Chains A and B, each alone.
Chain A
Amino acid sequence: MKTNQLIYGLITAALCALVFHLDAQNPKGKFGTFALTNATVETVTKGTITNGTVIISQGKISAVGSGIPVPAGAEVIDCKGLLVYPGMIDGGTNLGLSEIGSDPRTQDFNEIGEMIPQMNALTAVNPNAVAIPITRVSGVTTVLAAPQGDLFAGTAALIHLQGYTPEQMYAGFQGVVLNFPNTGRRGFFDRRTDEEIKKGAENAQKRMSEIWDRAVQYSKIDSATKGKAGYYPEMQALLPVVRGERPLLIEANAAKDIQAALKWVKEKKIKNVVLTGVTEGWRVAEDIAKAKIPVIVGGVLNLPSRDYDRYDQAYANAGQLFKAGVKVAISSGETNNQNYRNLPYHAGFAVAYGMDKAEALKAITIVPAEIFGVADKTGSIEPGKDANLFVCDGDPFEPKTQIKQVFINGWQIPLVSRQTQLYDEFLKREPGVSKK
Chain B
Amino acid sequence: MKKILLILICFFSLSAQAQDKGSMLIKNGTVLTVTKGTLPETDVLIKDGKIAQIAKNIPAPQGVKVIDAKGLFVMPGIIDPHSHIALDAINEMTSPVTAEVAESDVVNPLQINIYHALAGGVTTIHALHGSANAIGGQCVTLKLRYGTFSLDAMRMEGAPRTIKFALGENPTRVHGGGSNIVPRTRMGVEFVIRKSFSDAKKYMEDWDAYNKNKSVKGFRGAPPAYNLRLETLAEILKGNILIHCHSYRADEIMMLLNVCKDFGIKKITFQHANEGFKVAPELAAYGAMASVFSDWWAYKFEVYYSSAYNAAILTKNGVVTSVNSDDPEMMRHLYLEAGKTQKYGALTDDEALALITINPAKQMGIDARTGSLEVGKDGDVAIFKNHPLSIYGVPQFTIVDGIVRFDKASDPADMRLWADPKQNLDEATFYEKGTDHCMDGTEFLFTSDKK
**A and B, one complex?**
yes
Please give the residue numbers on chain A whose beta carbons come within 8 Å of chain B beta carbons, in ascending order. Answer: 99-103, 130-131, 183-190, 194, 197, 253-256, 279-280, 299, 301-312, 333-339, 341-342, 345, 348-349, 351-353, 395, 397-402, 418-420, 422-423, 426-427, 429, 432-433
Identify B343's interface contact among A190, A339, A401, CB under 8 A: A401
Q: Which 8 A-B pairs have the closest CB atoms?
A: A336-B434, A348-B391, A399-B339, A400-B342, A101-B299, A423-B309, A102-B300, A305-B428
Q: How far is the CA of A168 from the CA of B309 in the complex (A)?
A: 31
Extra inter-chain contacts (14) besides given A299-B433, A423-B313, CB under 8 Å? A102-B301, A103-B300, A130-B304, A255-B428, A301-B433, A303-B328, A303-B329, A303-B431, A311-B332, A339-B295, A349-B336, A352-B392, A399-B342, A426-B278
Asked, given contacts A99-B298, A422-B307, A433-B285, whether A333 binds B430 with beta carbons under 8 Å apart, the answer is no
Interface residues of B in 384-398 (CB under 8 A from A): 386, 389-394
Q: How far is the CA of A254 from the CA of B431 in the complex (A)?
A: 12
Main secondary structure of the interface of A (DSSP, over half): loop
Residues of A within 8 A of B281 (CB): 429, 432-433
Identify A183's interface contact among B298, B415, B427, CB under 8 A: B427
Complex contact B430–A253 (CB within 8 A): yes
Complex contact A336–B277 (CB within 8 A): no
Asked, given contacts A349-B391, A420-B309, A423-B313, whether A310 binds B411 with beta carbons under 8 Å apart, the answer is yes
Interface stretch, picked from B36-44, B111-119, B125-133, B201-209, is B111-119
User: Could you say which of A189, A255, A311, A334 has the most chain B C-beta atoms within 10 Å of its C-beta?
Assistant: A311
Residues of A within 8 A of B414 (CB): 308-309
Q: How far is the CA of A353 from the CA of B120 in the complex (A)?
A: 13
Residues of B within 8 A of A433 (CB): 281-282, 285
Complex contact A338–B316 (CB within 8 A): no
Asked, given contacts A334-B434, A399-B340, A419-B308, whether A103 binds B389 with beta carbons under 8 Å apart, the answer is no
Residues of B within 8 A of A348 (CB): 391-392
Please give the residue numbers on chain B whose beta carbons come within 8 Å of chain A beta carbons, in ascending order. Answer: 112, 115-116, 119, 169, 277-278, 280-282, 285, 295-301, 304-309, 312-313, 316-317, 328-330, 332-333, 336, 339-340, 342-345, 386, 389-394, 411, 413-416, 419, 424-435, 440, 443
Identify B434's interface contact among A101, A279, A422, CB under 8 A: A101
Identify B430's interface contact among A279, A336, A341, CB under 8 A: A279
Complex contact B339–A400 (CB within 8 A): yes
Complex contact A422–B297 (CB within 8 A): no
Closest B residue to A182 by CB, please name it: B430
Complex contact B413–A310 (CB within 8 A): yes
Closest A residue to B345 by CB, please name it: A423
Give the shortest distance, in Å, between A88 (CB) and chain B (any CB): 14
Give the shortest distance, in Å, between B429 (CB) and chain A (any CB): 4
Q: How far is the CA of A99 from the CA of B297 in the complex (A)?
A: 10
Residues of A within 8 A of B393 (CB): 352
Asked, given contacts A101-B300, A186-B430, whether A423 binds B307 with beta carbons under 8 Å apart, the answer is yes
Asked, given contacts A183-B427, A336-B435, A432-B281, whether A101 binds B298 with beta carbons under 8 Å apart, the answer is yes
Residues of B within 8 A of A401 (CB): 343
Q: How far is the CA of A103 from the CA of B309 in the complex (A)?
A: 24
Complex contact A400–B435 (CB within 8 A): no
Give the shortest distance, in Å, between B276 (CB) and chain A (any CB): 10
Residues of A within 8 A of B415 (CB): 311
Mind listing 18 A-B residue pairs with CB under 8 Å? A99-B304, A101-B299, A185-B430, A187-B435, A256-B426, A305-B429, A307-B416, A336-B298, A336-B432, A337-B297, A339-B297, A398-B339, A398-B390, A399-B391, A418-B305, A419-B297, A422-B307, A433-B285
Q: How far is the CA of A188 from the CA of B435 in the complex (A)?
A: 11
Complex contact B433–A100 (CB within 8 A): no
Complex contact A337–B295 (CB within 8 A): yes
Identify A187's interface contact among B282, B342, B429, CB under 8 A: B429
Complex contact A311–B119 (CB within 8 A): yes
Q: How far is the CA of A417 from the CA of B384 in the complex (A)?
A: 34
Closest A residue to B119 by CB, please name it: A311
Complex contact B428–A337 (CB within 8 A): no
Complex contact A302–B301 (CB within 8 A): no
User: Could you say which of A333, A336, A399 has the most chain B C-beta atoms within 10 Å of its C-beta?
Assistant: A399
Give the shortest distance, in Å, between A34 (CB) and chain B (any CB): 24
Give the shortest distance, in Å, between B187 (CB) and chain A (any CB): 21
Complex contact A188–B429 (CB within 8 A): yes
Complex contact B301–A342 (CB within 8 A): no
Residues of B within 8 A of A303 (CB): 116, 328-329, 332, 431
Identify A194's interface contact among B119, B300, B424, CB under 8 A: B424
Q: How far is the CA of A342 from the CA of B329 in the complex (A)?
A: 15
Complex contact A342–B428 (CB within 8 A): no
Q: How far is the CA of A427 from the CA of B346 in the complex (A)?
A: 12
Give the shortest distance, in Å, between B34 (CB) and chain A (any CB): 17
Complex contact B333–A426 (CB within 8 A): no
User: Could you say which of A100, A185, A188, A307 has the most chain B C-beta atoms within 10 Å of its C-beta?
Assistant: A307
Asked, given contacts A311-B415, A423-B313, A433-B285, whether A184 binds B391 with beta carbons under 8 Å apart, the answer is no
Residues of A within 8 A of B431 (CB): 187, 302-303, 305
Give the shortest distance, in Å, between A398 (CB) and chain B (any CB): 5
Residues of B within 8 A of A397 (CB): 391-392
Residues of A within 8 A of B312 (CB): 423, 427
Closest A residue to B390 by CB, please name it: A398
Give the shortest distance, in Å, between B32 (CB) and chain A (any CB): 15
Closest A residue to B111 by CB, please name it: A307
Complex contact B428–A254 (CB within 8 A): yes
Complex contact B282–A302 (CB within 8 A): no
Complex contact A351–B434 (CB within 8 A): no
Closest B residue to A311 by CB, please name it: B119
Q: How far is the CA of A270 from the CA of B379 in the complex (A)?
A: 59
Give the shortest distance, in Å, between A151 (CB) and chain B (any CB): 18
Complex contact B309–A422 (CB within 8 A): yes
Complex contact B309–A419 (CB within 8 A): yes
Identify B296's interface contact among A100, A305, A337, A427, CB under 8 A: A337
Complex contact B305–A422 (CB within 8 A): yes
Give the shortest distance, in Å, between B379 (CB) and chain A (any CB): 22
Closest B residue to A254 by CB, please name it: B428
Complex contact B428–A427 (CB within 8 A): no
User: Could you say which of A130, A188, A432 has the most chain B C-beta atoms within 10 Å of its C-beta?
Assistant: A188
Residues of B within 8 A of A334 (CB): 433-434
Complex contact B301–A103 (CB within 8 A): yes
Give the shortest distance, in Å, between A313 (CB) and chain B (any CB): 8
Complex contact A426–B280 (CB within 8 A): yes
Complex contact A302–B119 (CB within 8 A): no
Residues of A within 8 A of B308 (CB): 419
Asked, given contacts A187-B431, A279-B430, A308-B419, whether A131 binds B298 with beta carbons under 8 Å apart, the answer is yes
Complex contact A426–B336 (CB within 8 A): no
Identify B432's interface contact among A186, A312, A399, CB under 8 A: A186
Q: How far is the CA of A348 from the CA of B336 in the complex (A)?
A: 11
Closest A residue to B115 by CB, please name it: A311
Q: How far is the CA of A379 from the CA of B317 in the complex (A)?
A: 41
Closest A residue to B408 by CB, please name it: A312
Complex contact B413–A352 (CB within 8 A): no
Closest B residue to A332 by CB, please name it: B433
